C-alpha cells in the first residue's frame, strides 16, 4: 500500500458501494453477460470491465442503443434482480466489519455514495449488516459519476468540508467524481496484481481492510503503534 501524501484523521469516510462494501463488480459482469445474451448481445468479462463505474441505465443504453425502451427496461430489471440474487450468496468480508467497528470507536461518521439503485442498496446493507449515517444514491440524478454531484450532495448532508473527509472508491469514474468534489481518495484494488496508471491520482491503494485500518489509526496519531494492539483485525 502506498501513501503519497500524509492525511489527518477524517471526521467522516464516504464509501462507494460496488467493489468497496461488497465485491460485486464480478457479479455485475456475470449478470450483464447472462442478461445481454438473451437479447443477442454477447459480451466478454473484459468488455464488461470497460463500463465499470457507469450507472446501470447508461450501460443498458450503451449496449442496446437500437432496442425499444420496453426491452431496455426489461434488461435493467433483469440485471438488477440477478445482481441482488448473487450478492446474497457472497460472504461478508470480516475485515470490512472490523473496519466499520473501528470507525465507530473513533467516532467517525460513515456515508454511502453510490450509483446503484435503492433496491440493490437495501439488499447489500441487509446482507452485510453495515450501517451508515447518510446514504446518497446517484440513481435518479441527471449527472451520475464521474460528475461530482453525488459526492457534493453527500458532503452537504454530512455538513462537512471535503478536506475533513476520506473517500473510498474502486473505479476510475468513481475516483474522478470524488476528486472533482475535492475529496482525498483511497482506492480499494481487487488484488495485489491490480495496478492501474490512474491509481497514481489517489492518496493510496489498499488491498484489504486491515491495511486501511492501520493507516486510519496512524492518521489520528502517527506514533500510535501500540494503539493498533487495542483493535483486532483478521490476519
SS3 192: coil
Distance CA 167, CA 215 (A): 14
> Which residues, in sequence order, are CB contacts of 102 under 8 Å at separation 6+?
213, 216, 217, 231
Which residue matches cell numbers 490512474? 198
Contact 111, 139 (CB under 8 A): no
* Cell numbers found for residue 72: 431496455
Beta pairing partners, 206: 188
Contact 20, 52 (CB under 8 A): no
Catalytic member of 18, 23, 170, 208: 18
Q: Where are the alpha helices (DSSP H) in 3-68?
A: 25-37, 45-49, 56-63
State yes or no: is 16 an active-site residue: yes
Report whether the peptide linkage leading into residue 146 is cis, meaning its omega lies within 30 degrees of zero: yes
| CA dihedral over 210, 127, 27, 173, signed as positive or negative | negative
Which amino acids are annotated catalytic? 16, 18
Amino acid at each position: 500500500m502506498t501513501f503519497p501524501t500524509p492525511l489527518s484523521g477524517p471526521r467522516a469516510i464516504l464509501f462507494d458501494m460496488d467493489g468497496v462494501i461488497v465485491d460485486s463488480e464480478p457479479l455485475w459482469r456475470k449478470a450483464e453477460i447472462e442478461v445481454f445474451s438473451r437479447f443477442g448481445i454477447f459480451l466478454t468479462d473484459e468488455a464488461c470491465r470497460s463500463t465499470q463505474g457507469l450507472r446501470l441505465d447508461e450501460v443498458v443504453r450503451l449496449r442496446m442503443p437500437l432496442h425499444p425502451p420496453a426491452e431496455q427496461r426489461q434488461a435493467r430489471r433483469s440485471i438488477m434482480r440477478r445482481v441482488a440474487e448473487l450478492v446474497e450468496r457472497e460472504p461478508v468480508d470480516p475485515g470490512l466489519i472490523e473496519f466499520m467497528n473501528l470507525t465507530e470507536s473513533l467516532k467517525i461518521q460513515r456515508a454511502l455514495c453510490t450509483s446503484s439503485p435503492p433496491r440493490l442498496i437495501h439488499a447489500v446493507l441487509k446482507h452485510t449488516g453495515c450501517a451508515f449515517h447518510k446514504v446518497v444514491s446517484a440513481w435518479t440524478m441527471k449527472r451520475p459519476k464521474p460528475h461530482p454531484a453525488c459526492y457534493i450532495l453527500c458532503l452537504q448532508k454530512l455538513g462537512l468540508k471535503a478536506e475533513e473527509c476520506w473517500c473510498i472508491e474502486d473505479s476510475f469514474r468513481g475516483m474522478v467524481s470524488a476528486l472533482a468534489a475535492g475529496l482525498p481518495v483511497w482506492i480499494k484494488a481487487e488484488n495485489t496484481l491490480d495496478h492501474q496508471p490512474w491509481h497514481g491520482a489517489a492518496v493510496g491503494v489498499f488491498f484489504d481492510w486491515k491495511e486501511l485500518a492501520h493507516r486510519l489509526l496512524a492518521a489520528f496519531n502517527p506514533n500510535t503503534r501500540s494503539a493498533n494492539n487495542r483493535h483486532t483485525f483478521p490476519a
